[in-house]
Amino acid sequence: MPSRTAGWLGVGALTLGFGFLYAPIVLLVLYSFNASRLVTVWAGFSTRWYGALFHDTAFGAAALTSLEVAAMAATLSLVLGTLAGFSMARFHRFPGRLVFGFALLAPLVVPEVILGLSLLLLFVACESWFGWPSRGMLTITVAHATFGACFVSVLVRAQLAGFDRALEEAALDLGARPWTVLTRITLPGISPALVSGWLLAFTLSLDDLVVASFVTGPSATTLPMAVFSSVRLGVSPEVNALATLFLCVVLLLVAFAGWLMARTERRRQI
Amino acid sequence: MISLGWTGRLVLIGVPFLWLTLFFLLPLLIVVKISLAESTIGIPPYTPLLVNHEGGVELHATTANFALIAGDDLYLRAYLGSLGNAAVATALCLLIGYPVAYTVARSQGARRHLLLFLVMLPFWTSFLIRVYAWIAILEPNGLLNQSLMALGLIAARLPLLNNQFSVELGLVYSYLPFMILPLYGSLSRLDRSLIEAAADLGARPLRAFLGVTLPLTLPGIVAGSLLVLIPAIGEFVIPDLLGGPDTQMIGKVLWDEFFNNRDWPVAAAVAVVLVMALAVPLLAAQRFLERGHAA
């Protein structure tokens, strides 16, 4: 293939691919500033839906619940996922490694309806045996931490695979205690995986509708649940405004993570 | 890490292992258990499997839920419909994703970082909202119909929403990044000199692509296909928001069985059959992901 044709084909593929991925999101952002309630009419620029959104206490409460659950679930995921990632990367033989590996990877692909239903049935059984836990934020957090940990473990494992173990051995040879090696060499070395793992678990939790709908009780409504019950009735301009705000927050978080990783990368090179 | 003792090892492996056993493996067994129970009115809404009866313990298991699934056409159609939709979506993702991944993998420096970032970004935005965004576009009075009519391309409004087309579109749209990333992983590791060698030996570009590039990126193709296919089969949000009455998918059937009919045992039986149907691709997925780690 002559390289110019290949170049044009490449540009075409990228334009189509990214156009497809981003056009709906861009349109959503535009419509959030539409003065009309209808998507069919552009009635001029307005921020009225943002005002309406801020006065909607149901969305506000749901957002707080979601943020609280996501922060707890992400932290729990980080601890569990890091332990699991270490185990799989460093210990190549232990009893049950095959089952452990399966249990770590399966939640990445198993349909959410199955994860949700199975966890709910566990929580209901627990409640009838021990009278605990009552369903709500706690059960959502546990459910989210379970699949969050699997994602974190994949990232940690991949980063450890590329980690130079000679650094740890050198530190040990120089008389450092294992704990010091862990906190001063290994953990800083895999910090990009830890940061992106926490953020990934956080956004996955913030985004989850299906699992949370199954395991929640009457006391807790998360943001996706509130959004879902409102969009089921059709297009809602307040949801457009909410989506735009959400997008801004995500962009800021991703930019922050990118800056953090670029900084650690630079430091390592010095 | 080297001098980590037995207790250290036990904590490192044991804590996450115990967690996953409790909150992933055990719940799957409970689903099997409840799929063998009968539905009753009460809390919880199913009969116990083991009943104390005159001093002894009796097993009360029924296969009625599975008989219901096998007997009712609705379930079979939903299973097959999900499989078909997911398979078509996987093929389309591959068709759209491969050229994108190829181009990203061949670009250099900052441009490559930017493109990769653009592929990853949808991962970080709300799945629910990305599906919802299509409603405004596909509605009878929506953007696409309006634009096509304004351009004079169509005379009457096309039915774009709540049918097979919109479900398929939603699946491809939502799962495309899951296809592009593993493909990119494979393509970026590809040794370019192999393609040059093929060209030097007289292979035409298409021949070199089919003979060298495609076979060498097969792991990425398989990994990406599994990452799209398996979750897409059980998808709920897309058929619910973009689907119609004749686009039943099994994830939605399970949801309705649970939330609308409140029949937990039948919902559990639907889940058991789904897990069994997914077992083969799931195990294949694990092997491939494991091999990716080993490489």
**What is B113-131 written as a DSSP string?**
HHHHHHHHHHHHS-HHHHH
Q: State the smallest CA–CA distance between residue A102 and chain B in angstroms.
A: 7
pLDDT of residue B289: 64
Quick one: DSSP state of residue B49?
S
Q: What is the mean pLDDT of residues A38-56?
A: 82
3-class SS letters over A117-138: HHHHHHHHHHHHHHCCCCCCHH
CA distance A235 to B242: 12
pLDDT of residue B292: 60
CA-nearest of B98, B285, B90 to A107 is B285
pLDDT-derived band at A45 (thresholds 50, 70, 90) equals confident
Question: Are the beta carbons of A100 and B274 separated by less than 8 Å?
Answer: no
What are the sequence ranges of the domains in chain B?
73-294
Question: Are the beta carbons of B24 and A107 separated by less than 8 Å?
Answer: yes
User: H or E stretch including B19?
Assistant: helix B6-20
Q: What is the mean pLDDT of residues A203-216?
A: 93
Q: Which residue in A96, A113, A149 is closest to B234 by CB distance?
A: A113
B242 close to A81: Cβ distance less than 8 angstroms: no
Residues of chain B with pLDDT under 70: 1-4, 289-295
Note whether A170 contacts B: Cβ–Cβ < 8 A.
Answer: no
pLDDT of residue A93: 85
**E strands, chain B, where?**
50-53, 56-59
- Say if residue A172's pLDDT is above 50: yes
Where does chain A have alpha helices with state H?
A: 3-31, 48-55, 57-90, 97-109, 112-130, 137-161, 165-173, 178-181, 187-189, 191-207, 210-215, 223-231, 237-269
pLDDT of residue B293: 54
Q: Which residue in B1, B44, B141 is closest to A178 by CB distance?
A: B1
Cα nearest neighbour of A154 on chain B: B293
Environment class of residue B249 by beta-carbon count within 10 Å: exposed (0-12), middle (13-18) or buried (19+)? Answer: buried
Question: Are the beta carbons of B136 and A239 separated by less than 8 Å?
Answer: no
| Superfamily covering domain B73-294 | MetI-like (1.10.3720.10)
| Average pLDDT value over all residues in chain A | 87
- Over the stretch A136-150, which tens digit does the pLDDT of each residue have? 899 999 999 999 999
pLDDT of residue B295: 47
Question: Hunting for tokens 């083969």 — which residue is that?
Answer: B280
The DSSP code sequence of B65-132 is HHHHHHH-HHHHHHHHHHHHHHHHHHHHHHHHHHHHHHHHHHS-HHHHHHHHHHHHHHHHS-HHHHHH
CA-nearest of B225, B263, B232, B228 to B250 is B232
For testing the chain B interface, which of A4, A118, A223 should be mutated: the one with the most B CBs within 10 Å? A118
Complex ipTM, two decimals?
Answer: 0.87
pTM: 0.88
A69 close to A144: Cβ distance less than 8 angstroms: yes
Q: Which of residues 26-55 of A touch B (CB under 8 A)?
A: 27-28, 31, 39-40
CA-nearest of B126, B42, B84, B49 to B233 is B84
Note whether A109 contacts B: Cβ–Cβ < 8 A.
Answer: yes
Q: How many CB atoms lie within 10 A of CB A109?
A: 23
Question: Are the beta carbons of A227 and B233 separated by less than 8 Å?
Answer: no
Alpha-carbon torsion (A135, B268, A112, A83), positive or negative: positive
A152 close to A85: Cβ distance less than 8 angstroms: yes
CB < 8 Å to B146, chain A: 40
Q: Which residue in B11, B124, B259 is closest to A250 by CB distance?
A: B124
Higher per-residue confidence, B289 vs A52: A52
Q: Which residue in B20, B23, B230 is closest to A109 by CB distance?
A: B230
pLDDT of residue A270: 60
For testing the chain B interface, which of A83, A98, A113 should be mutated: the one with the most B CBs within 10 Å? A113
- Over the stretch B153-197, which tens digit does the pLDDT of each residue have? 888 888 888 899 999 999 999 999 999 999 998 898 888 888 888
Domains, chain A, in order of start with CATH, read 57-269 (1.10.3720.10)
Cα nearest neighbour of B145 on chain A: A40
Note whether A210 contacts B: Cβ–Cβ < 8 A.
Answer: yes
Cα nearest neighbour of B106 on chain A: A10
How many pairs of residues across A and B have Cβ atoms under 8 Å apart?
256
CA-nearest of A124, A109, A108, A228 to B274 is A109
CA distance A76 to A1: 51
Q: State the smallest CA–CA distance between residue A35 and chain B in angstroms.
A: 15
Question: Are the beta carbons of A94 and B13 separated by less than 8 Å?
Answer: yes
Of A39-48, A167-176, B66-75, B166-175, highest mean pLDDT:
B166-175
- Say if residue A190's pLDDT is above 80: yes
3-state secondary structure (DSSP) of residue A255: helix
Question: Are the beta carbons of A250 and B125 separated by less than 8 Å?
Answer: yes
CA distance B8 to A4: 58
CA distance B1 to B42: 53
Helix %, strand %, coil % of chain B (to 5): 75, 5, 25
Half-sphere exposure of B135 (CA within 13 A, CB side): 26
B266 close to B39: Cβ distance less than 8 angstroms: yes
One-letter identity of residue A75: T
Question: Are the beta carbons of A91 and B233 separated by less than 8 Å?
Answer: no
pLDDT of residue A1: 45
Note whether A178 contacts B: Cβ–Cβ < 8 A.
Answer: yes
CA distance B234 to B252: 8
First CA to last CA across chain B, in angstroms? 23
CA distance A212 to B67: 30
CB < 8 Å to A27, chain B: 133, 136-137, 143
B6 close to A94: Cβ distance less than 8 angstroms: no
Note whether A161 contacts B: Cβ–Cβ < 8 A.
Answer: yes
Q: State the smallest CA–CA distance between residue A267 and chain B in angstroms.
A: 19
